[in-house]
Amino acid sequence: MTAPLGLVVATERTPNTPHQFQFWTAIDSPVGIGTIVRVDGRQPVDGHIPHVYGVVTEGFSYTDLASPLFDVLGHDGDPGQAAFAPTERAEVRLYVAAVLRHVPEEPLQPVPMGEVFLATEADVAVALRMDTYLRDGASTGIPIGLYRSGGMDSAIYLDAEFLVGPEAAHLNITGVSGLATKTSAVEWLMASLFAHFPKSKGSVAAVCFNVKGPDLCFLDQPAELEENDRAMYETLGVPCAPFPDVRYFAPYKADNVSLNTLRSNEELSANVQPLTWGLREVLQFAEVLLNRDDVDAKADALIDFIKERVLDRDFEDRVLKQKHRVRSFADLEGWFRDLLSGLEDQGSEHWRTHHVATIRKVRNRLSNISTRCAGLVTNDGHTSDLPWGDFTDRAVYVVDVALAEEDAQDLIFARIVSKLREHLERRDLGVTHVVVFVDELNKYAPADGPDTYVRKMLLDIAERGRYLGLVLFSAQQFRSQVHRRVVGNAGTALYGRMDGDELATPGYAVLSAATRTKLATLSKGQLMVRHPHFTQPIFVSFPRPAVMRGRDGMERFPQAADVPLDVGVLRQLRRFEPTLTLAWVQDVIGLYEEEDVLRALHATLAHAPEKAGAYFKAQFRKIVGAAPAPAVARTPLRALPDDDPYAI
């Protein structure tokens, strides 16, 4: 039988309660903050010996010294003499533990006096109630990491039903920047989720918004891992490999030919697609981009009119000189120009209840969008989008908005989340669950500041997403500065190393001083986990993600330099037909305007034909080369008299 680690103690001043107890241990016992222990009671209750499981939340150490002065006197004021003292003072290690679970659970009594043991692997499972969801054949456990204590490693599992829904959902991670904990933890957890999410619960994919640097740009590239990381992968039953199915989406740069992403190296271009939207897509989310102080109800009414009555249909009006079919920003501009010109000609200030000033304002604001979101919004109405309706199980869709302008970021986020929601509601996305990962919640869902469309979207996911299978994995540096309902609705919370100031905020008051201290000193690869099944926070270690780190990726696959149009076209086409040459491209596009070339390119990319070259070439109108006109002999109406050169 295992020797006890400690003994429960209680005094009148510091009694044990049903939720907390104290115990002492030998000086050299392997107990620390976060250690899980088991107390075996001495007296049976209702015929059962009570077992209480707890996690150490505080520790004390003191000696029989009544006053520091006695120590000074004992060493004649010379600290160096302490080493020569023949005896070390009696010293106690006293720990406070928070109760994780009582077995049996009723009657709920104060923790009894008893022996304290280091929790075994089986004890850890019982203590954290993992036994309720790790049943053979019906396990919904998702490994989050290893609990380590006394030389023993225990796998800690989250319950998929409380991570992805429907019981609870969402995950939030907090930690200081620069330790790669937040991104690493999410990458690791996604790998774990993909490996362990039960087939019986449906399918799952992830949509990750890469909002800064190259963090998520190399999820399909392997990392160099150390042996202990590989061992953790093996213990936790997660393949030690990069994600096999990752697709990248990024808007164009302003040149509309180079993708605006740090993953622009030609070697990696096979699974990078442009993200471009036309007027129809943008207009649905116009309010994301329009300043609410500027666009009033009248403007809103006109925008709604355009969306419902003008867009994508033949539109005629007595004020207009011609029939319009508006499909792109260019068409819309033409429609506005015709409308305003007609009103001017008629000397009218109103059109269908809309004042001409409102019409001018809306024209100005909408036209401005294609400029503000250049690269994302196309003038020609071309769309390149996520594969709505065709999402694949265990696939990762990375939307790289790190280099995009803020307006474009907001638009991308709002539209993609809305589309996910729409498709999940209709059950036609292709998967039944989608994890949406958003970093920098301090920016996108701040506790204070204006009520932006993006924040509303995040709140909506957090509060209602779990019923749809739309799950938010979010991260930020300062949890206290994120909207309370966003973090509050996260069933699972992870904490990496924390900033001292952040820990001093009221949200962390429920943690003991020792736990807060541990949080402030966590090393890479360590997390504190809160999960609905765990009645107290638990510390775990997790392996380094098996995917290449962003900065390693940037060294290995440097960003491509900006290129001229012909080279950009070649790069895009080569994804489908690698034999194409620059000379061929130059020959094909030489006669055409940039606008035509881009339209042909976008059409080719949209159809992704096998013979991309031929398809691309076929998009151009036949242009006949200019030839000098033959000289025409002209006959005068009447001949001039030879001697009258002035025809008088």
Residue 125, helix vs strand vs coil: helix
Does residue 450 bind other proteins (CB under 8 A)? no
- 3-class state of residue 117 by DSSP: strand
What is the signed CA dihedral for 451, 452, 456, 457, rounded to 10 degrees?
-170
Residue count at the site for other proteins (CB under 8 A)? Answer: 18
Query: At its nearest, how many Å lie between other proteins and the CB of residue 24?
Result: 12
Q: How far is the CB of 86 from other proteins (least distance, A)?
A: 3
Instruction: State how far the Cα of 262 lies from the Cα of 269, in Å rounded to an integer.
Output: 11
Binder of other proteins out of 88, 642, 643, 644 (CB under 8 A): 88
CA-nearest of 170, 264, 249 to 415 is 249
CB 282, CB 377: distance < 8 Å:
yes
Q: Is 646 in the site for other proteins (CB under 8 A)?
A: no
Least CB distance from residue 56 to other proteins, whole Å?
23
CB 54 to other proteins: min, Å = 25
Residues 46-75 close enough to bind other proteins by CB under 8 A = 64-67, 70-71, 73-75
Kindly state the smallest distance separating residue 115's Cβ from other proteins, in Å. 18
Q: Which is closer to other proteins, CB of 91 or CB of 422?
A: 91
Q: How many whole angstroms separate alpha carbon 493 and alpha carbon 475?
A: 10
Q: How far is the CB of 501 from other proteins (least distance, A)?
A: 40
Q: Nearest distance from residue 87's CB to other proteins, in Å?
A: 5
Closest CB to other proteins among residues 90, 618: 90
Query: Do 379 and 329 touch, CB atoms closer than 8 A?
Result: yes
Task: Reduce the DSSP state of residue 272 to 3 states and report it.
Answer: strand
Angstrom distance (rounded) from CA 55 to CA 34: 6
The answer to whether 19 contacts other proteins (rule: CB under 8 A) is no
Residue 256 burial by CB count (10 A; 0-12/13-18/19+): exposed, middle or buried?
A: buried
Report the nearest approach of other proteins to the CB of residue 59 (Å): 19
Amino acid in the structure at residue 606: A
Q: Tell how far CA 73 is from the center of its chain.
A: 61
Q: For residues 76 and 70, give the distance between their C-alpha atoms in angstroms, rounded to a whole number.
A: 10
Residue 93 or 148 with smaller CB distance to other proteins: 93
Contact 543, 153 (CB under 8 A): no
Choose between 26 and 270: whose C-beta lies nearer to other proteins.
Answer: 26
Q: Compare residues 25 and 260 and give the one whose CB is closer to other proteins.
A: 25
For residue 495, the cross-strand partners are: 174, 528
Tokens of 619: 């998009």
Binding other proteins (rule: CB under 8 A), the pick from 86, 137, 578, 636 is: 86
- Residues 612 and 580: beta-carbon distance below 8 Å: yes
Question: Which of the ranges 84-92, 163-171, 556-564, 574-582 carries the binding residues for other proteins, by CB under 8 A?
Answer: 84-92
Q: Quote the least distance from Cβ 144 to other proteins, whole Å.
A: 40
- Measured from the CB atom, the residue of 14 and 81 that comes closer to other proteins is 81
Residue with smaller CB distance to other proteins, 71 or 440 = 71
Q: Which stretch binds other proteins (CB under 8 A): 85-93, 185-193, 292-300, 397-405?
A: 85-93
Q: Out of 15, 60, 85, 177, point to the residue binding other proteins (CB under 8 A).
A: 85
Choose one: 78-86, 175-183, 369-377, 589-597; the region binding other proteins (CB under 8 A). 78-86
Closest to other proteins by CB, 89 vs 360, is: 89
* Contact call for residues 208 and 545 (beta carbons, < 8 A): no
Pairing of strands 20-25, 6-9: antiparallel
Considering the complex, state which of residue 78 and residue 314 has its C-beta at the smaller distance from other proteins: 78
* Residue closer to other proteins, measured from CB, 62 or 70: 70
Report in angstroms how near the CB of residue 80 gets to other proteins at its nearest. Answer: 12
Q: Which residue of 3, 84, 628, 646 would you call a contact of other proteins, by CB under 8 A?
A: 84
Give 67 or 322: the residue with its C-beta nearer to other proteins: 67
Q: Alpha-carbon distance 257 to 247, whole Å? A: 19
- Tokens 């930020």 found at: 476
Between 85 and 583, CB nearer to other proteins: 85
What's the Rg (C-alpha) of the chain? 34
Residue 365 CA to residue 295 CA, distance in Å, equals 9
Q: Of 81 and 581, which has the nearer Cβ to other proteins? A: 81
Distances (CA, A) of 283 to 302, 381, 452, 575: 12, 12, 17, 31
| 88 or 643: CB nearest other proteins | 88
Q: Which is nearer to other proteins, 87 or 291 (CB)?
A: 87
Closest distance of CB 462 from other proteins, Å: 55
Strands (E), 257-321: 272-274, 314-315
DSSP 3-state of 334: helix
The answer to whether residue 255 forms part of the interface with other proteins (CB under 8 A) is: no
Tell which one of 81, 132, 341, 346 touches other proteins (CB under 8 A): 81
- Within 337-396, which residues bind other proteins (CB under 8 A)? none
CB of 122 to other proteins, least distance (A): 33
Backbone phi, then psi, for 145, in 5-degree steps? 165, -170
Are 174 and 494 contacting, i.e. CB atoms less than 8 angstroms apart?
Answer: yes
Window contacting other proteins (CB under 8 A); options: 82-90, 203-211, 367-375, 406-414: 82-90
Dump the DSSP string for 371-438.
Answer: HHTBTTB-TT---B---TT---TT-EEEEE-TTS-HHHHHHHHHHHHHHHHHHHHHT-SSSSEEEEEE
Place of tokens 């107990």: 31
According to the binding rule CB under 8 A, does residue 11 interact with other proteins? Answer: no
Name which position in 43, 87, 579, 635 contacts other proteins (CB under 8 A): 87
Report in angstroms how near the CB of residue 70 gets to other proteins at its nearest.
4
Task: Find the shortest distance in angstroms from Cβ 20 to other proteins.
Answer: 24
**Which residues are within 8 A (CB) of 398 and not within 5 positions of it... i.e. 6 or more apart?**
207, 208, 210, 216, 217, 219, 246, 247, 248, 249
Instruction: Tell me how far apart the alpha carbons of residues 575 and 570 are, in angstroms, rounded to a whole number.
Output: 9
CB of 28 to other proteins, least distance (A): 10
- The identity of residue 516, as a single letter, is R
When the beta carbons of 82 and 583 are compared against other proteins, the nearer one is 82
- Whole-angstrom Cα distance, residue 310 to residue 279? 12
Shortest distance, position 50 Cβ to other proteins, whole Å: 25
Amino acid at 204: V
Using CB under 8 A, pick the residue from 89, 292, 323, 484 that binds other proteins. 89
- Interacting residue ranges for other proteins, rule: CB under 8 A: 27, 64-67, 70-71, 73-75, 81, 84-90
